[in-house]
């Protein structure tokens, strides 16, 4: 044990398996996807330092089929990047795929969905966060009046304590009643 077997050591694979919902085969498949984005920048064998040090800029990550059509692509990359810039290390990339995998639990997905929609990072979904979310969802096709109308309706129906913003608990309550959440908040590897 501990000998290099291809890309990662056994210890690295075990650590990745402990922190994700993936098998060794799936981890290696995700690594191939990561490396395909920048084959000249990503070594074929990754040391434990490399998995967190080498980062792909957002411009390269957004080219992935699974992300390029997603209206939240940039925001997803920002949330999963360690420094918030959208540049992803392999560990960030693996975390992204793990959370968005079909087998990740609803609770974990809900935490990350909240982070993605919390554009200002204040741990609430305020009116501006809801506006930004709506603009992403509709690809800026609504008028400002329509956006304001929808934001007011969302708060009217989901802001249980009437403080003008959604807490994580209020958001979680909404998600728990959404049957489509688990089928839409995922990517396949």
- Over residues 71-83, the pLDDT tens digits come to 999 999 999 999 9
pLDDT interval class at 183 (50, 70, 90): confident
Residue 4: the pLDDT is: 43
Residue 6: the pLDDT is: 78
The kind and range of the H/E element at 52 are helix 50-53
- Over residues 8-58, the pLDDT tens digits come to 999 999 999 999 999 999 999 999 999 999 999 999 999 999 999 999 999
Catalogue all structural domains in the chain, each as residue range(s) with its CATH number: 4-99 (1.10.238.10), 106-184 (1.10.238.10)
Q: Which residue has the tokens 């998600």?
A: 175
Q: How far apart are CA 189 and CA 182, in angstroms?
A: 16
Higher pLDDT, 130 or 65: 130
Query: Is the per-residue pLDDT at 124 higher than 70?
Result: yes
Residue 117: the pLDDT is: 98
Residue 3: the pLDDT is: 46
State the chain's mean pLDDT as an integer.
94
Going by C-beta distance under 8 Å and a sequence separation of 6 or more, which residues neighbour residue 64? 33, 37
Hey, what are 104's tokens? 């990740």
């Amino acid at each position: 044990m501990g000998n290099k077997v291809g890309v990662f050591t056994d210890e690295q694979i075990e650590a990745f398996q402990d922190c994700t919902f993936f098998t060794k085969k799936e981890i290696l498949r995700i690594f191939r996807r990561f490396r395909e984005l920048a084959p000249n920048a990503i070594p074929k064998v990754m040391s434990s330092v490399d998995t967190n040090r080498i980062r792909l800029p957002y411009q390269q990550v957004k080219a992935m089929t699974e992300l390029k059509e997603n209206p939240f692509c940039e925001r997803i990359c920002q949330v999963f990047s360690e420094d918030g810039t959208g540049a992803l290390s392999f560990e960030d990339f693996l975390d992204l795929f793990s959370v968005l995998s079909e087998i990740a639990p609803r609770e974990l997905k809900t935490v990350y969905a909240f982070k993605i929609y919390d554009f200002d990072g204040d741990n609430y979904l305020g009116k501006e966060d809801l506006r930004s979310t709506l603009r992403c969802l509709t690809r800026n096709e609504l008028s400002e009046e329509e956006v304001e109308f929808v934001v007011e309706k969302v708060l009217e129906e989901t802001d249980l304590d009437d403080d003008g913003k959604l807490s994580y608990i209020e958001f979680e309550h909404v998600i728990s009643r959404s049957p489509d959440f688990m089928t839409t908040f995922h990517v396949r590897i």
